[in-house]
Structure 1
Amino acid sequence: MILLSAYQARKFLPAGDKATASLDLGLTESEIRREGEYFIFPDGQKLGIADIKKIIKKDTMCFLVENSSIIQVAIFSEELQRYYKLVPTGYRTPPTIEISGIRMHVTKKFSPLEDTKQKINFVAPCTGTVLDTCCGLGYTAIKAAETAEIVYTIEIDPNVAELQKINPWSKELFDNKKIKMIIGDAFAEIKKFPNAFFDRVIHDPPRLALSTLLYSQEFYNQLYRVMKPGGKLYHYTGDPGSKKRGMDIRAGIIKRLEKAGFRNMQRVFNGVTAEKL
């Protein structure tokens, strides 16, 4: 499978007879041959200069190369009325998902990998049994699995699950035996876990308007129930509305977490940390 963005495509045009560029959004490098107006890939597929220029022009898209044609990596859900696409973030950095204009990672200041490392650091050391409540492209689960014994990760959206299969940076979700993927609604799935099961929880839900139940008192009660004493929680909040409307989403979250039984709540970058004592 060949995936390209503008970051990789720009490496093609200055080429002579040969060029070296990534064909998997920055994970590895490959050699590409040039024959006249065409670039020949290792699997025998080819693209013309016009296609390469189109990829460069549409620099917020990723493209799948299939049958020597380019296809935008994007999905429109009629059922949900949402538009999903993989958005490149750099030559050697993983893409993010954009859902109807909302990006799922902080990409203005950090790459998705740096964003993920920050989340994991808030529950350091990330060891034992870990819950990643909202999988997305799986970067949190993949990073957590580097140090954890086992990671459970939940994904509700079948459209996101399709993008996981295409995205080369999500491959470990399916290959790493320490990662257990659950397709379902985190609000329902969390009730199936036994008491005091998780050492660490990373809760990175969609924004409040899209998923009110994952910010509810009932869900926080369940988080508390499934965590072991001494367990650490990181709850991603982002900073929605705070500058424009004086909103403080974290104040309400801290209040509900405390009511659930959590202690030592702290405001941290784009979120809240808490502990079960």
Structure 2
Amino acid sequence: MPDYYLHTINARQALEAIAKGLSSVRLSVDLNISEREFSLSDQGLVLDEDNLLSIDELKKIVKKTQRIYLCSDGDMFPLEDRSSGYYKLVPTTGAPLLEISGVKMHISKGTDPFTSASEMAQQAVHKGDKVLDCCSGLGYAAIAAHRLGASEVLTIELSPEVMGLRAQNPWSKDLDKDGIVQRQGSSFELIKTMPSISFDAVVHDPPRFSLAGELYSEEFYREIYRVLRRDGQLFHYTGNPHVVKKGSSFVDGVIRRLKSAGFRNVEKVEHLMGVRAQK
């Protein structure tokens, strides 16, 4: 059965069209990937013969501005996981972003999460590269690396909750393509099991320091250095645009530890809130 993704914007479009007495409305129900025409009635929005959203259901969706609802098999439920913490997908004008316990996991201001993740991949990845993607989240950087022509992408994500959400995210479907390998586990632990000089590029997008300080340690940076081939590239997201721009003990510490681990040409990339480096 097809899945339909509804949020404030497209639910409001449907309600406005019903109020005007229109018989159909053009909507994106795959989170801005494509648009289709759907029938309307005075009862609500007809997605297909098994999925009709009533006016009350559409009004409920409109009120929840930071939530995405999945409609399938006649059911409607939010794309979230509350089993440990609060994980959810949040709508944007492009690809959805991941939010964990109220903290947004992507750059989305003035851009959308897929675009910013693609720009991160472009900082390090070239055609033919073998790429390691640490802390992959919804997998946007891994997909971008694959589209840039990477020969192979190994992507690691610790959280089973995040992996569950990305399995339901239309923008993450390309993770199933040949050439992308998904692993669930700790980047800090798994990188130790990898052969030396086995990657051409690494994209490292860790959670904030307070949640995963080990992923900002010199020990971990030495492991990235070890698995990179000569002249291999690293892009490391550090977060907080003001801190990256002005310089701070935190970002300066990241740069200092990268240099201690052996990296050269270490420089801030302000608009992506991160640091680029070369082996």
**Counterpart-to-counterpart distance in 1, 2:199 and 2:277:** 14
CA distance in 2, matches of 1:183, 1:240: 29
Cα pair 1:241 1:247 within 8 Å, conserved: no
Which residue of 1 is the match for residue 67 of structure 2? 61
Instruction: Determine the structure 1 residue equivalent to 2:230.
Output: 229
Render the CA deviation track for 1:195-241: whole Å, top value 9, x for unaligned: 10110110000000111111111111100000000101011001278
**Relative to total residues, which structure has the larger helix share, 1 or 2?**
2
Q: How many residues are matched? A: 269
Instruction: Give, in whole Å, the separation in 1 of the partners of 2:59 and 2:76.
Output: 11
Contact 2:236 2:274 in 1 (8 A): yes
For residues 130 and 158 of structure 2, what CA distance do their matches in structure 1 show? Answer: 21
What are the Cα deviations for residues 33-59 of structure 1, in whole angstroms up to 9, with x where unaligned? 112222111353101011111111111
CA distance in 2, matches of 1:204, 1:261: 20
Partner of 1:121: 122
Partner of 1:7: 9
Using structure 2 for the length normalisation, give the TM-score. 0.91
Deviates more, 1:146-155 or 1:69-78: 69-78
Say yes or no: does 1:110 pair with 2:111: yes
CA distance, structure 2, for counterparts of residue 205 and residue 136 of structure 1: 9
Return the offset for 1:27: 1.4
Alpha-carbon distance between aligned partners in 1 of 2:275 and 2:241, rounded to the nearest angstrom: 14
Matching of residue 33 in structure 1 with residue 34 in structure 2 = no
Unaligned runs of 5+ residues in structure 1 are none
CA contact (8 A) 2:195 2:227 kept: yes
Listed as ranges, the gaps of 5+ residues in structure 2 are none
Contact 1:120 1:126 in 2 (8 A): no
Indicate if the aligned counterparts of 1:123 and 1:233 stay in contact, CA closer than 8 A.
yes
Q: 1:132 to 1:37 in 2, by over 3 A?
A: same
State, as a whole percentage, how many aligned pairs show the same letter.
Answer: 40
RMSD: 1.8
Match for residue 17 of structure 1 among 10, 14, 23: 23
Tell me, what secondary structure is at the counterpart of 1:171? helix
Moved more, 153-162 or 234-243: 234-243
